[in-house]
Amino acid sequence: MKLRPERSRGSCGIAGIMNKKKERFSGEKILNSISVMQDRSNGLGGGFSAYGIYPDYQDQYAFHIIYENEKNKRIVENHLSKDYNIAKGEAIPTREPKKSVSSPPILWRYFLDPVKSNSSEKNEEDFIVETVMEINRNVDGAFIVSSGKNMGIFKGVGFPKDIGRFYQIDKYEGHIWIAHGRFPTNTTGWWGGAHPLGILDWSIAHNGEISSYGTNRRFLLNYGYHCTLSTDSEIIAYLFDLLGRKHGLDIHTISNVLASPFWNDLKRLNSKARRLNKAIRITYSGALLNGPFSLIVGQQDRMVGLGDRLKLRPLVAGEDGDMLYMSSEESGIREVCPKPDSIWSPKAGNPVIGYVGE
């Protein structure tokens, strides 16, 4: 695909909307938010993650899988049938794609539970992660792109407004929505590598470049996470799962790991805070993200925004009543909420955290 010369390198667009009372709203809202920032993408990737969209199957894991062909689909289904009770499997509903939506693969979703006898020796969520890693590594042309409960990721190659139309995002209702418009600079643009990226009920939309990708990837390999999606952003989703779910760190500490203060800045802290930050920095040196980035992270009960410690990528946040908004640009918020109660630009390395029920 040739890039049109009038396209500026906008370095991706991200947007997130959350209702703090867990009231569901149409995906049309996030579609309008990300579409107003189309100049930040170049048609090589768009996508959405949504929470609360499957109330009829809220107790089952929802696997969204992309397949290159029917043979790969049969291989994966045979694998899943051995380890899972599949309540339902079906094609993900789509509309006729516009020209900008490039070569859609086979798109399928499954609502399933692990067979207890197969997963009894392991934590259930670890079992899900192992399944995702095994299929994404070992079955050519098959990739599980989301695997959480009562949530799903919808993404592909195209502009976000066209990807949203293709997946009929406007027909879904959820209490958290995250969107991404991609402008890949050093990785390929393909369906599996589009954002958001996820594992279990974590999903992330990322703007920027992770120059520490090699170090981060090797760090994650020690814990069984394998990167297979040809994008540096994949490591962010796995780091949140490792640090948050496996190691039990809170979001503020995770942010401190990923966007640690500079050593010189630690000198300004009191002795207790300085010792704590040094310990975090040393223990999790392999998880520190270097390079310019801003990101939005979703989970069933919260939405988090975080920028790098030099603020090299933009992030704007706003609130209006029970609604929390995040965006690469103020326009992404004001397009769907013209007069928010408050709007601000978070400080470098400081997370914006919204909780359901707060």
For residue 277, being part of any structural domain is answered with: yes
Q: In terms of Cα–Cα distance, which of 113, 110, 107 is closest to 72?
A: 107
Please provide residue 108's backbone torsions phi and psi, each rounded to the nearest 5 degrees.
-135, 155
Residues 6+ apart with CB under 8 A from 267: 274
**Do 151 and 62 form a contact (C-beta atoms < 8 A)?**
yes
**Do 194 and 42 form a contact (C-beta atoms < 8 A)?**
no
In this predicted structure, the answer to whether residue 341 has a pLDDT above a threshold of 50 is: yes
The pLDDT assigned to 118 comes to: 65
Structure tokens at 218: 């090797």
Domain total for the chain? Answer: 1
| Structure confidence at residue 119 as a pLDDT band (50, 70, 90) | low
37-56: pLDDT as tens digits: 999 989 889 999 999 999 99
For residue 278, being part of any structural domain is answered with: yes
pLDDT: is 1 or 115 the higher one? 115
Which residues belong to the active site?
A: 12
pTM of the predicted structure, to 2 decimals: 0.94
For residue 280, being part of any structural domain is answered with: yes
Give the mean pLDDT of the chain: 93
285-325: pLDDT as tens digits: 999 999 999 999 999 999 999 999 999 999 999 999 999 99
The pLDDT assigned to 358 comes to: 74
CATH code where residue 164 lies = 3.60.20.10
Quick one: which H or E segment has residue 237?
helix 234-240
What range defines the domain where residue 347 resides? 13-56+158-355
Average pLDDT over residues 65-78: 97
In this predicted structure, the answer to whether residue 4 has a pLDDT above a threshold of 80 is: no
